[in-house]
Amino acid sequence: MALTAFVLEMTALYFQHVMMLKPCVMCIYERCALFGIMGAGIVGAIAPKTPLHWAAIVIWLYSAWEGVRLAREHTMIQLHPSPFVTCDFAARFPTWLPLDKWLPSVFVASGDCAEKSWLFLTLRMPQWLVGIFAAYLLVGVLVLIAQAFKSKRRYLFSL
């Protein structure tokens, strides 16, 4: 899971720094949701048998849910542009976590949320992200169910 989120983050940076596509505020927020999923995957991989794995699952589910919500909102801005529904000019991070100050090459927005600059198989980037985050959310729910109902012993042959 962490590896797939990392690949998506590297793809976003490729689009930004090589293809020169400017990320908007919604893109930056969607990036943060991906970092949450990546962080949850790393914590889950490091501490799979400790109570931390429950925290990782919660972070995973929350990040995937927020990612779906953000990507859907971004999709609606692109599909139905309106002068009354726009995104912010700059990402708003908490004062205790100023990501745009710490790593501006990753977290500073400079694009317009309504701009439609990339298309693949008739879908725009936020439309793809709705599906990607929905897949993360579905797998996260399945993992949560499997973890909650797993048995203590596993038998190879049971009668």
72 catalytic residue (yes or no) = no
In the 8-state DSSP scheme, what is residue 121? T
Place of tokens 């976003």: 12
Say which residues have a Cβ less than 8 Å from residue 37's Cβ, sequence separation at least 6. 1, 2, 5, 60, 63, 64, 67, 136
32 catalytic residue (yes or no) = no
Place of tokens 């909650």: 148
Phi and psi (nearest 5°) for 124?
-85, 165
Strand partners, 119: 124
Catalytic residue from among 72, 113, 153, 154: 113
**Among 107, 140, 135, 132, CA closest to 8:** 132
3-state class (DSSP) for residue 119: strand
Catalytic residue from among 32, 69, 72, 87: 87
Q: How far is CA 69 from the centre of its chain?
A: 10
Catalytic residue from among 27, 32, 69, 124: 27
By annotation, the residues acting in catalysis are: 24, 27, 31, 87, 113
